Amino acid sequence: MDGVTETWTEPSSTGAALLLLGRGTDPSAERGVECPGELPAPSDPTLVERAARAKAALGDRLFILGHHYQRDEVIQFADVTGDSFKLAREAAARPDAEFIVFCGVHFMAESADILTSDAQKVVLPDLAAGCSMADMAVLSQVETAWELLEDAGVADSTVPITYMNSSADIKGFVGRHHGVVCTSSNAKRALTWAFERGQRVLFLPDQHLGRNTAILEMGIDADDCLLYDPHKPGGGLTAQQLGQAKMLLWRGHCSVHGRFTKSSVDEIRLRVPDVNVLVHPECRFDVVTAADYVGSTEYIIKIIDAAPAGSAWAVGTELNLVRRLANAHPDKQIMFLERNVCYCSTMNRIDLPHLVWTLEELAAGRLVNQITVDADTAHHARVALDQMLALP
């Protein structure tokens, strides 16, 4: 059975993901660690002033990165905004900044640490800001999958690709096995590169980006895209299926983009007949095929910027970004695709109190919440990231 026609259900969580956010400790996971220190109260009326003062005191020693899905109260202090890939490159382009404060989630801060010098410190204002998608592929599970491919005699003809939204451990695994990292903008180029080197791809951890790109952009048959479920013995596949598949799609997804449904597209088209539906490729296959435009966060921003006044847009991505776009373009009708609120709860953990606390600690000479990747993992992850940058 291919991954398109079956009824899609939420995969069960990994053990790490079962930890309540901000409680307990699991340093190998993307989330679930304590946030130390005394946070200012959210009601403190001086928060904006305090953040500005601490930022000014740190001057050029500080560079603040803000992901598009962050709250406005945080974005106002970002020196640059962007998606995860753009922000990683921006971090690498600031060798003089001693502190890179990453307002985003854990895997992004890891990528920034990999791409910056040892002298630079990457800081995540709330250590519990992880990513549920990245949590869905942990190293031990991926190593088990690779052993199954070896046992089936097909590991040598398999190229691993991991989406940027994965832990440094997974990027390191991919680098060790001659694969590549991809983003939502270059997934097709990564797949083209991989199929010049192997007969199949193990695509981690977002099944939807992998499936959408394989079927819609590469013309791969849906029957050749098989779902690998790390929670089932053998991934839920036989050795013969592992060998015959062209795409082995890891059973992971984004908990935000996975919420958009085909019925939300149908419903908005009924309500707003001339609406343009614009979605992110982390959405499910039936949503992407029902949409008018599909693309990365940066693509979504460009399309809305270029849209004519008076046009109507239903956007299927994270709510903070959609709301910011709507505020920036009052001459266009910009709506959220889903009726229900759909924030990324972990992105939202970085709020103004956490930012103020972080900046004041740094200004006082106390390094807090540093994100580091061990040298061996960083080396191999860098190989996979550099391979992405060298994609034709």
For the annotated binding site, the residues are: 67, 84, 131, 163-165, 184, 254, 280-282, 297, 344
Closest CA to 157 of 190, 125, 179: 179
Find the part of the chain contacting ligand SF4 (CB under 6 A) among 95-103, 290-298, 344-352, 369-377.
344-352
Quick check: 256 binds ligand SF4 (CB under 6 A)?
yes
Out of 62, 88, 131, 356, the residue judged to bind ligand SF4 by CB under 6 A: 131
Instruction: Tell me the window of 7-15, 70-78, 151-159, 248-256 that interacts with ligand SF4 (CB under 6 A).
Output: 248-256
The residue from 105, 181, 215, 279 that contacts ligand SF4 (CB under 6 A) is 105
**Tokens for 383?**
């190989």
Considering the rule CB under 6 A, would residue 342 count as an interface residue with ligand SF4?
no
Question: Residue 62 burial by CB count (10 A; 0-12/13-18/19+): exposed, middle or buried?
Answer: buried
- Using rule CB under 6 A, residue 346 touches ligand SF4: yes
Shortest separation between residue 133's beta carbon and ligand SF4, angstroms: 4
Binding residues for [4Fe-4S] cluster, as ranges, are 131, 254, 344
Q: Return left, alpha or beta for 234; rule: phi > 0 is left, psi -120 to 50 is alpha, else beta.
A: left
Least distance in angstroms from the C-beta of 325 to ligand SF4: 16
Stretch that binds ligand SF4, among 152-160, 237-245, 264-272, 340-348 (CB under 6 A): 340-348
Query: Which x/- pattern, by CB under 6 A, does the window 149-178 give for ligand SF4?
Result: ----------------x-------------
Rule CB under 6 A: is residue 344 a binding residue for ligand SF4?
yes
Told to check if 132 binds ligand SF4 by CB under 6 A, we report: yes
Cα 307 to the center of its chain, rounded Å: 26
The distance from CA 178 to its chain's CA centroid, rounded to whole angstroms, is 22
d(CA 186, CA 209): 11
Give the CA distances from residue 294 to residues 140, 219, 264, 355, in Å, rounded to whole numbers and listed in that order: 33, 16, 16, 33
Region binding ligand SF4 by CB under 6 A among candidate stretches 169-177, 210-218, 250-258, 353-361: 250-258
Window of 9-17, 40-48, 183-191, 252-260 that interacts with ligand SF4 by CB under 6 A: 252-260
Query: In this complex, which beta carbon is closest to ligand SF4, that of residue 107 or of residue 228?
Result: 107
How, if at all, do strands 293-294 and 276-279 pair?
Answer: parallel
| Both tokens assigned to 178 | 């001659």
Contact 252/162 with Cβ under 8 angstroms? Answer: no
Tokens standing for residue 29: 């996971």
d(CA 100, CA 117): 11
| Helix H or strand E encompassing 120 | none
Choice from 136, 254, 288, 383 touching ligand SF4 (CB under 6 A): 254
Least Cα distance to 316 among 281, 368, 352 occurs for 281
**Contact mark string toward ligand SF4, 289..318, x via CB under 6 A:** -----------------------------x
How far apart (Å, rounded) are the C-alpha atoms in residues 226 and 236? 10
Among residues 190, 347, 363, 385, which is the contact residue for ligand SF4, using CB under 6 A? 347
Residues 267, 259: Cα–Cα separation, whole Å: 15
Residue position matching structure tokens 């992998």: 210
| Structural tokens at position 114 | 């990999």
Residue 90 or 206 with smaller CB distance to ligand SF4: 206
Please give the full DSSP string across 43-96, using - where no structure is assigned. T-TTHHHHHHHHHHHHGGGEEEEEETTS-HHHHTT-SEEE-HHHHHHHHHT-TT
Should residue 81 be labelled a site residue for ligand SF4 when binding is judged by CB under 6 A?
no
Stretch that binds ligand SF4, among 56-64, 91-99, 181-189, 343-351 (CB under 6 A): 343-351
Q: Is 183 among the residues that bind ligand SF4 (CB under 6 A)?
A: no
Residue 336 β-bridge partners = 315
- Given the rule CB under 6 A, which residues bind ligand SF4? 69, 105, 131-133, 165, 254-256, 318, 344, 346-347
